[in-house]
Amino acid sequence: MVKDELDRKILCYLKENSRASYAQIGREIGLSASAVGERIQRLEETEVIKGYKTLIDPKKMGLSVSAYILMSLESKNFHSFVEIMKDYPEIEHCSRVTGENCLIMKINVKDSGHLQKFIDRLAKHGNPSTQVILSDLITN
């Protein structure tokens, strides 16, 4: 899948600037644009590359409060909640983690009122524990 140093260089470059052109990457690593294109196509097909995302500032979209919520669920509710959760637009990402049916999610909400409503909604299904984000120190 990731064959050699050139693949790693391409991924390293794309990671931080997914809008870079093949030509630009090629100049950087000493390869023709078409070779870069073919390598990237292979990395996409083998799902080494899982997508190209744009980082948008939630604050500038009117979502001024971000938080991590840790939540444990009863076993019987777990899978139904996971389905319900997919329709919550507040959730930026969510992972299942070790511990008794535990989830960690990152959310973006308008304000503390919205946060409260969101927590109340979660509390119907489990025990959410919230930690509001003060600042992002590292973002890769």
Partner DNA sequence: ATTGAAACTTATCCACT
Partner DNA sequence: AGTGGATAAGTTTCAAT
Residues that bind DNA (CB under 7 A): 6, 21-24, 26, 30-35, 37-39, 42
Alpha-carbon span 119 to 112, nearest angstrom: 10
Among 4, 86, 100, 124, binds a second copy (CB under 8 A): 86
Binding flag, residue 5, a second copy (CB under 8 A)? no
Distance in Å, CB of 1 to a second copy, minimum: 5
Q: Say what the alpha-carbon torsion angle 79, 67, 58, 25 is, to the nearest 10 degrees.
A: -80
Binding flag, residue 140, a second copy (CB under 8 A)? yes
Among 5, 16, 75, 76, binds a second copy (CB under 8 A): 16
Distance in Å, CB of 64 to a second copy, minimum: 14
Binding flag, residue 34, a second copy (CB under 8 A)? no
Distance in Å, CB of 17 to a second copy, minimum: 6
Q: Say what the alpha-carbon torsion angle 122, 127, 132, 137 is, to the nearest 10 degrees.
A: -110
CB atoms within 10 A of CB 23: 13
Q: Which of DNA, a second copy, none sits in contact with 31, Cβ below 5 to 8 A by type? A: DNA
Alpha-carbon span 29 to 7, nearest angstrom: 10
Q: Say what the alpha-carbon torsion angle 44, 49, 53, 58 is, to the nearest 10 degrees.
A: 160
Binding flag, residue 76, a second copy (CB under 8 A)? no
